[in-house]
Amino acid sequence: MTVARPHAIADSLVQRLTHGHDRHCQRWGLHIPEEGESPREARPLLFALGVPTFGLALAISVITTYGPVILIRLAHSTTTVGALIGGEGAFALVVPLAAGALSDRLPASPFGRRLPFVLVGTPFIVAGLVLLPFSHSIVLAGATVLAFFVGYYLYYPPYRALYADLLPRTLYARAQAGQAIARGAGLGFALLTGGVLLAVWRPLVFLIAATIVVMSTLALVPVFQLQSQCGTRTVPYRPTSIRSLLLNDRNLRVFAGVNALWEFSFAGLKSFIVLYVVRGLGRSPAVASAVIAVVAVAYVAGAPIAGRLADRYGIVRTLRWTSLVYGVGLLVGVIPHTLPPLLAGLPVVALAGSIVLTLPQALAFTLAPPGSEGAAAGLQDFSRGVGVVLGPLAVGAVVGAAHGIFPATHGYAAMWPVVGVPVLLAALLLGSERPELSPAPAHDAA
């Protein structure tokens, strides 16, 4: 009896794994793709997995873009507003590490390991969106913003780990391309409609965002049912602590550093690009919006290109070469003092930046030991938080000190080397790795 029990457990695991790869194991028209299966065949599952990204991107864009409109009426201080919205970076340093790693370690249940974090995070997100426009004090408004960020980072890393749970590695890049399109669509919807909705009734854009978050989260119900019925690719789980990942895995250490450099550049550029166009080049806010629209179109267009390039040349090689193009393009921005030369090269540079922004999650999952994808997602968000906190601070400090060096743009041209050099450094760090990385071996938790 003591000998039969381990065999019974092993047989059960084998049956579950085999069943998870059975094409007849379907739920709501979804199935878990097999290794070597084409993206077209896996499209229904990829679509269902990507829907919550649209809701989350819309929600965080509404909070960070239109939340200040509410907060400034209560705080009457741009410093206070900046501190509250900038709290995203602080939460990104703490919450994702815990949520991602814990979602790997939860005991098996009919709800899976990821769903509890989605269920806990969603009410915080919704509460933050719904309560903020009705807040009558800065204390309550600040609490709603903080609740939103806690819920967002409880939800996001475990949700993203579902991709690694259910998809073969050959589909990671294509899946992230689809997720990037959904993210761009959520951002675009927020920017294009938010101002109009805000003028109709101030709480309206926040209430619509909260409703879309709930509806897009419900799209995961068939996915979780499929996972419960058919199993998952990473059974049995062998979760690894983040400390062990960083100490024992050089590739993941390089990834964390490289991702922080990318996010440093993105955050610094995003925070000052409008000021560069308006104050540095003397153009109107409408022109700045048009520049951002070009970048948004390139972002959406670049996502599917990123997936195809990664399939053909490998994730690392694609990221290395597009980082070189993107970094050099950013550095060239320091030369012109008028808008037309910048617009000439903007589509190419924005396209390269879109590819760089699309593939890091696929790289993180490729490097992570099986069963530790939640920790890898948390590590990605942690490194992102480092960049989000430091990027705007560095760009702001350099621009403030460079008025005499770049008088034609009132110092704002100094932003380009600050955001360009980290991207080139990231390309150099990626150059120290092999173009194609083999799947990381599973190992026990530390």
Strand, helix or coil for residue 46: helix
Residue 149, both tokens: 């960020």
Strand, helix or coil for residue 31: strand
27-77: pLDDT as tens digits: 656 777 766 677 777 788 888 888 999 999 999 888 877 887 788 788 776
Q: Burial of 21 by CB count in 10 Å (0-12 exposed, 13-18 middle, 19+ buried)?
A: middle
What was the pLDDT predicted at 242? Answer: 60
Using N-to-C axis directions, what is the helix angle for 115-131 and 138-166, rounded to 10°? 150
DSSP 172-212: HHHHHHHHHHHHHHHHHHHHHHHHHHHHH-TTHHHHHHHHH
Q: Which residues pair with 31 in a beta bridge?
A: 26
CATH classification of 43-230, choosing from 1.20.1630.10, 3.40.50.2000, 3.40.50.261, 1.20.1250.20? 1.20.1250.20
The pTM for the full model equals 0.70
pLDDT, tens digit only, all 446 positions of the chain: 333 433 343 334 334 444 444 444 666 567 777 666 777 777 888 888 889 999 999 998 888 778 877 887 887 766 677 667 766 667 777 777 777 777 777 766 666 678 888 889 999 999 999 999 998 988 898 899 889 989 998 898 888 888 777 777 777 777 777 787 888 888 878 877 877 787 789 899 899 999 999 999 998 888 887 777 776 554 445 556 566 666 667 788 888 899 999 989 987 887 677 778 878 888 876 777 677 777 778 877 887 888 888 888 888 999 999 999 999 999 998 988 888 888 888 888 989 998 998 888 788 878 877 667 677 777 787 888 888 778 877 888 888 888 778 888 888 888 899 999 999 999 999 876 543 444 444 443 33
What was the pLDDT predicted at 157? Answer: 83
Annotation: CATH topology of 242-431: Growth Hormone; Chain: A; (1.20.1250)
What was the pLDDT predicted at 77? Answer: 67
294-310: pLDDT as tens digits: 777 887 788 788 888 88
Whether 358 and 305 have beta carbons less than 8 Å apart is answered as no
Residue 132 is given by DSSP the state G
The CA–CA distances, whole Å, from 186 to 71, 109, 192, 273, 372 equal 22, 32, 10, 20, 28
What was the pLDDT predicted at 3? Answer: 38
Nearest by Cα to 194 from 239, 129, 140: 129
Q: Burial of 399 by CB count in 10 Å (0-12 exposed, 13-18 middle, 19+ buried)?
A: buried
Residue limits of CATH 1.20.1250.20 in the chain: 43-230, 242-431
What type of residue is 140? L
DSSP H or E stretch at residue 30: strand 30-31
Residues in the chain: 446
DSSP H or E stretch at residue 26: strand 26-27
What was the pLDDT predicted at 21? Answer: 45
| Contact residues for 24 (Cβ-Cβ < 8 A; gap 6+) | none
> How far is it, in rounded angstroms, from Cα 26 to Cα 31?
5
